[in-house]
Amino acid sequence: MKELTKEEHHVIREGGTEARFSGKYVNNHEAGMYTCRACGATLFSSDAKFDSGTGWPSFTDPAVAENVGTRSDDTLGMRRTEVFCKNCNGHLGHVFEDGPAEKGGKRYCINSVCLDFEKKD
């Protein structure tokens, strides 16, 4: 496990959320793989990333389905589906049913602080 900053710990270990449009990967358009900041597990590919306009990196599906889990989240008076890293149980964000229809309709809305990026050569 990597040492986390205070903000990374708050989001990954306490289920927090970073501020909209504040994350370093919101506008990243380079080719590569997004990995878990806490443990390094491969999570999402840049091929599945799209601009949702929400202020967080959004993906249509995980790159390695075995590394990404979902569970019910009833916090903040809302019913949502949390996305977490199955390798380290770290909170990543939430998944919604308003993604591109032609790609299955999912929008994995992920906090940048939960991710590292490995640029494709």
**Cα 87 → chain centroid:** 14
Catalytic residue status for 114? no
Q: What single DSSP character describes residue 70? A: E
Residue among 36, 39, 88, 109 flagged as catalytic: 109
CA atoms within 13 Å, Cβ hemisphere of 101: 0
Write the single-letter amino acid at 5: T
Do 110 and 60 form a contact (C-beta atoms < 8 A)? no
How many residues in the chain?
A: 121
Catalytic center residues: 109
